[in-house]
Structures are given as structure tokens and as C-alpha cells.
Amino acid sequence: MSTLEVLDLRNNSLSSSLPVDMCRHNLHRLKRLRISYNELYGEIPSSLGQCSKLEYISLYNNSFSGHMPTQIGNLTLLQELYLGANNLSGNIPNEIGALTNLVGLDVSINNFIGHVPKEIGNLTMLQLLDLSSNKLSGNIPKEIGALTNLRGLSMSFNNFSGSVPREIGNLTMLQRLYLSNNKLSGSTPEEIGALTNLQTLDASLNILSGRVPSEIGNLTVLQSLDLSNNQLSGKILSS
């Protein structure tokens, strides 16, 4: 299988772990690995980092456990990485910041803990970032403001605390922003008004306080706004 470039086994009933040495001796030409929607389990082998030509990985919706291997940072050609809907745990490794060609990153519906690494700000090509439904905590890193190509950002259903960083106003291409079900506090930043492409904003079920900034009236294509179950005060905006 040394000449294989695409391996697509998605939507089956495969039930096993991945070979520990899967990229050590073969698969050196592999560009696309798509084994989502199976019943695969065990740890993601660190040898995956030796498939250096990989551009696309989807392990979505399996039962993988353990940590995300730090060797994933070796896959510098990777454009899409989908690890959502598994049982992965531990921290998101700092090495994720080496994947500067990523346009899509989904690690949702896992058990990741700890802070989002500041190195996430290196991923300036990202259009989709989904960190939802984990156990992530700490502040939303201000470095997220460097991801100016983002169209979708989901951080819902975690334990994020502190204020929403003002740098979020840099994400002027953003269309969908989900921050619900966290412990975010403080006021809604006025910079939110710079997100003029925003269609959906959900910051419900937090501890946000103060007034709703009048700048939210700049969001002229907004279709859904949910700020329910916070501690907001002041007047309802007229526009």
C-alpha cells in the first residue's frame, strides 16, 4: 500500500484500533484519510505524524480515546482535521499551532480539558473552528483575533470564563458565532459591531452583564441573536 494516496472507509461498521505503526513503514504517500462514522477505538497512533503528505484527516464519530498525539504537529500540509464525536481527553497540544495550512478544525464532542493554546492564533487560514462540547476552561485567548478568515466559530458547552476578548472584533468574515453554555462574564464588547457578516450570534447561558452595546445594530445581516439567560441590564435596543 506504499502508493496509496486516498483511504476512504467512512460509514461502515469497522470495529478495531488503528495499527500502532500505520505510517511507519507504509502510507507515506497518503493525502486523504477518511474513516469517520465507524466503531473504531483505542488511541490515535503517534505514527500518524509520519504520514507527512496528509492534507485531510477525518476520524469523526468513532470511539477513539486518549490524548491527541503531539506528533500531529508534523503534518504541516494538513488542511482539514476532524476529530469530533470521540472520547479524546487531555489538553489540546501546543503543536496544533504548526498546522498553518488548516482551513477546518473540529475537535467538538470530546473530553478535552485545560486552556486553548495560544498557538491557535497561528492558524490564520482557518475558516471553521469548532471546540464545542468539551471541558475546556480559562479565558478565550485573545490570539483568536488573528483568525481573520474564520466563517464559523463554536466554543459552546465548555467552562470558559472571563470576558469575551475585544479582539473578536477582528473576525470580520465571521458568519456564525456560538459561545453559549459557558461561564463568560463582564460586558459584551462594543467590537462585536464590527462583525458585519454575522448571521448567527448565540451567547446564551453565561454570566454576561451590563447593557447590550448599541453597536450590535451594525449587524445588518443578523438572522438569529440569542443572549438569553445572562445578567444583562439597561434598555432594549430600538434597532
For the stretch 119-143, pLDDT in tens is: 999 999 999 999 999 999 999 999 9
User: Is 64 within the bounds of a domain?
Assistant: yes
pLDDT at 26: 81
Query: What is the average pLDDT score of the chain?
Result: 96
pLDDT at 24: 81
Average pLDDT score over residue span 187-212: 97
CB 169 within 8 A of CB 146: no
Among residues 69, 106, 72, 66, which one has the least CA distance to residue 89? 66
Provide CB contacts within 8 A for 122, sequence distance 6+.
97, 98, 100, 146
Domain of residue 135, residue span: 6-232
CATH number for position 85 = 3.80.10.10
User: Is 56 within the bounds of a domain?
Assistant: yes
Phi/psi class of residue 214: alpha, beta or left (left: φ > 0; alpha: ψ in -120 to 50)?
A: alpha
- Cα–Cα dist 183/67, whole Å: 25
User: Is 238 within the bounds of a domain?
Assistant: no
Three-state secondary structure of 202-227: ECCCCEEEECCCHHHHHCCCCCEEEC
DSSP state of 182: S
Measured over the CA atoms of residue 61, residue 64, residue 66 and residue 72, the dihedral's sign is negative
- Cα–Cα dist 57/54, whole Å: 7
User: Is 48 within the bounds of a domain?
Assistant: yes
pLDDT at 25: 76
Among residues 64, 56, 55, which one has the least CA distance to residue 37? 64
DSSP state of 46: G
CB 73 within 8 A of CB 102: no
Going by pLDDT thresholds of 50, 70 and 90, the confidence category of residue 238 is low
- Cα–Cα dist 141/106, whole Å: 17
Going by pLDDT thresholds of 50, 70 and 90, the confidence category of residue 169 is very high
User: Is 201 within the bounds of a domain?
Assistant: yes
CB 53 within 8 A of CB 31: yes
Residue carrying the nine cell digits 505514527: 47
Going by pLDDT thresholds of 50, 70 and 90, the confidence category of residue 158 is very high
User: Is 237 within the bounds of a domain?
Assistant: no
How many structural domains are present in the chain?
1
Among residues 64, 53, 9, which one has the least CA distance to residue 27? 53
User: Is 239 within the bounds of a domain?
Assistant: no
User: Is 146 within the bounds of a domain?
Assistant: yes
The answer on pLDDT for 216 being more than 70 is yes
Give residue 4's identity as a one-letter amino acid code.
L
pLDDT at 38: 98
CB 190 within 8 A of CB 163: no
